[in-house]
Amino acid sequence: MPTKNVVFCDTKGRLWLKSIDHSGHYVQKEIGAAVYIKEIFKTFETGDIVLDLEFEYLNTLERLLLPRGDLRKGALMEYAKIGFPVNESNAKYLIEFINEQEQGNPPVLNHVGVGWDVTEDENGKIKNVFKSVKAMGMVSDYNGTLPIKPKGSFEDYRAFVKEHINNSPLCLGLAIGLSSVVLGFLSDKLQSESLIVHLYGDSSTGKSTASKVAISTGSLPLLNEKNTLMNDFNGTENALLATLNGNYGYACCFDEANMNDKKDFSSFIYKLASGRGKRRLTRESKQQAVDTYMTTIITNGEKSLSRNANQNTGKEIRVLQFGNVPWTNSANHSEFVCAFIQNNYGWATLKLAKYLLKLGKSEVMKRFEHNRNIFIEKSLVNDNFTERLSSKYAFILTAADLANECMDLSLPYDYILNLLLNNEAEHIDNRNIEVKAYNYLLEQINVNIDKFSLADKGDIIPAVKEAWGIRIPQSQQIIVDDKKCVMVICIAKEKFKDLLSRGNFEEPSVIIKKFKQKLWLDHDSDRDTRHRKIVPNGTAIDVYALRIFEEVEDDVGEVKYQPAKRRPAPTKKMNVATERATPSEIISDIMNDDNFDFDVELQPPNIILDDTPIDDTTDNNSDDVTAEANAEVESSENPA
């Protein structure tokens, strides 16, 4: 005679409880629909057990992936809302029935993250694995929702790349996509950040097509389809970051940055690059493990991310920005490319990952350093951030280099290199914060010229409106970097800081220090300011005295200050438009004001050299270098 209750299932899939009543007789009672274990999974990343359960609800077969930790009455009751056949009276017996099915049913390993990871071999030695639909280096299946299963034919994909991708800058887009594989593989060696690449320009440049080409290397390149690696910016920061969790080698994209109403992208850029999600608490208020990722993140929009971010150097060296690149040859070219890659994708990432596993981390690291050195040696311009940024460019170059070896894609390496070198040259001044601040102040002075008094033959011609400062012409020609100082514009101390603040320059002290180093600031020997009157009959106040320069046309013979070190001449033939620190059109407007008198004999302020060492790593390119670079436009290399 049984001494305990027995749970069993009939042939119709109904669950019964067999027990003995108070009189000792057998009693059978139906307690609900049966629940069967189809398979038991063990999650590679966490070791968690997941039960793949099957049950019937309203004559329809349903499936539930139940975390093993939820196989208890309180947690299980939460699943009743989706039709799971559990209630207060049968929960205990349903759990017993599921437990019995677990016996002799060993778990199957699967993974929910994608890209690179490590595990132990049979000897306990750490080895690299790549997690895709099927893992490389271990037996594990993908149990996530991303569309990373390859589609189409690799042979067709390779032929398409050679004929329709390599004839345009889209070849760079493809290399950017594959850089995620190299980055994820070497991330522990280099302790690098995620690579953020922003493509900006108007809608006709093909930036979205380039983004899709990059994504197609590993997954379905469709925007806003459920659970793809292409998303738009229509979401909270935390929601966007959550889409990256567990990704160590598949390129992803956030499309149309301009649709986000954020006024400042600075903090989001730092969060993206960090490779770490938001810290969260469990239901028991305990700290959860932080989700991480390390991959290439592509963003695009009509404007540079710098337009909606604070003016600081840290942001500039975390994002590679490519502006107004004509990615496609025509609208028809763009449509043709997008139509093809929607049905042929996912091959290149797998091929490259397999090749990296074959080469090994040491060899891939050598190749990375080789490409990094090539970029540094051939850089047209250099500053103290070039070496750090060279690693970001090297991920792209190494991806193109190794992809050609293992897939015979014939990506035009030299053309891609030249695109990267030109891009670096065009954007270098964006991270020279003092150049940006100087140009910004010149623009503000020009727009508000009627708010500056003018020193005229010992007198002061007052400003038309409220006085921000005073313009003082210079008769003694002071030469700095082949430019002569023709005027000093004094700006009231607090107004100077206010202008910088409105221009999103967060640290005026940093700007002032760099201005002094470059001799752009006229100041007393023991302070950063001068003491000047800015209105007639007014009291002298502290002002920041900004020197205004124009080009030296002749050898004027005056004493020159020691110029900062010039950048090296270009070693690669390319067309580079170098932005000047003092835009001639702005200076012209300031100098050509109706009240300006070039013949004044006003005693100029004392010129005192600052003892601070000159930072010779961030100076603008000299005119002769610019002329030499622009003279070589005719022989610039073209894509294959």
User: Tokens 């090297």 appear where?
Assistant: 394
The last residue of one of the domains, among 399, 426, 453, is 426
Q: What is the pLDDT of residue 315?
A: 57
The answer to whether residue 548 is domain-embedded is yes
In a domain, 612, yes or no: yes
Strand 195-200 with 319-323, pairing: parallel
Does 97 share its domain with 168?
no
End-to-end CA distance of the chain: 85
Q: Give the residue carrying structure tokens 């990343």.
A: 45
Query: What is the three-state SS of 193-233?
Result: CCEEEEEECCCCCCHHHHHHHHHHCCCCCCCCCCCCCEEEC
Please report the pLDDT score of residue 599 as a whole number: 32
Rounded CA-CA distance 403/236 in Å is 35
The helix-helix angle for 413-427 and 361-378 (nearest 10°) equals 60
Quick one: how far is CA 213 from the chain centroid? 17
Site of tokens 């003694």: 476
**Does any domain span residue 140?**
no
**Residues 598-617: b if buried by 16+ CB within 10 A, e if exposed:** eebeeebbebeebeeebbbe
Which one, of 98, 59, 56, lies nearest residue 75 by Cα? 98
pLDDT, averaged in runs of 10, over the chain (640 residues): 70 82 78 91 94 92 94 94 92 91 91 95 92 96 94 97 96 98 94 90 90 97 84 83 94 79 68 68 46 93 70 67 93 96 97 97 97 92 79 97 97 96 82 81 91 86 88 81 86 92 81 88 92 90 92 43 34 37 45 39 32 36 35 35
262 plus 348 within the same structural domain: yes
pLDDT for residue 426: 83
Residue 77 lies in a domain: yes
What pLDDT is attached to residue 173? Answer: 97
| Alpha-carbon distance values, 530 to 349, 440, 467, 522 (Å) | 61, 21, 17, 7
- Partnered with residue 127 across adjacent β-strands are 119
User: Does one domain contain both 279 and 169?
Assistant: yes
Beta bridge partners of 52: 39, 65
Residues in CB range of 514: below 8 A, 6 or more apart: 433, 434, 437, 615, 618
Determine, yes or no, domain membership for 263: yes
Task: Return the structure tokens found at 73.
Answer: 């009455």
Predicted pLDDT at 579: 37
Of 91, 110, 129, the residue that ends a domain is 110
In a domain, 331, yes or no: yes
DSSP class of residue 579? Answer: P
Q: Which domain holds residue 219?
A: 154-426
Q: What is the pLDDT of residue 261?
A: 57
Q: How far apart are CA 272 and CA 496, in angstroms?
A: 33
Q: Count other C-beta atoms under 10 Å from residue 16's C-beta.
A: 16
Indicate whether 62 belongs to any domain.
Answer: yes
Spatial distance between the Cα atoms of 287 and 119, rounded to a whole number of angstroms: 25
Spatial CB neighbours of 62, under 8 Å, sequence gap ≥ 6: 54, 55, 56, 82, 83, 84
How far apart CA 407 and CA 639 sit, in angstroms, is: 19
Residues 400 and 440 in one domain: no
Same domain, residue pair 399 and 443: no
Overall domain count for the chain:
3
- Do 29 and 73 lie in one domain? The reply is yes
Residue with tokens 């610039």: 636
Structure confidence at residue 290 (pLDDT)? 56
Q: In 3-state terms, the chain is what percent helix, strand and coil (to 5)? A: 35, 25, 40
Same domain, 568 and 585: yes
Asked if residue 640 is part of any domain, the answer here is no
Strand order in the sheet with 252-255: 230-232, 252-255, 296-301, 195-200, 319-323
Give the span between the Cα atoms of 251 and 354, in whole angstroms.
17
Q: Is the distance from CB of 589 to CB of 632 less than 8 angstroms? A: no
CA 478 – CA 562 distance, rounded (Å): 11
Q: Verify that 483 and 591 share a domain, yes or no.
A: yes
If asked whether residues 97 and 193 sit together in one domain, one would say no
Determine contact, residues 199/211, Cβ cutoff 8 Å.
yes
Mark whether 384 and 261 lie in a shared domain. Answer: yes
SS3 (DSSP) at 239 = helix
Q: Are residues 23 and 73 in the same domain?
A: yes
Q: What pLDDT is recorded for position 112?
A: 94
How many residues are given for the chain? 640
* 351 backbone dihedrals φ, ψ, rounded to 5°: -65, -45
Domain end, chosen from 378, 401, 426, is at 426
**CA 539 centroid distance within chain:** 50
φ, ψ of residue 5 in degrees (nearest 5): -70, 150
Residues 398 and 438 grouped into a single domain: no
Query: What is the DSSP secondary-structure string of 9-73?
Result: E-TTSEEEEEEE-TTS-EEEEEEEE-EEEEEEEEETTT--EEEEEEEEETTEEEEEEEEGGG-SH
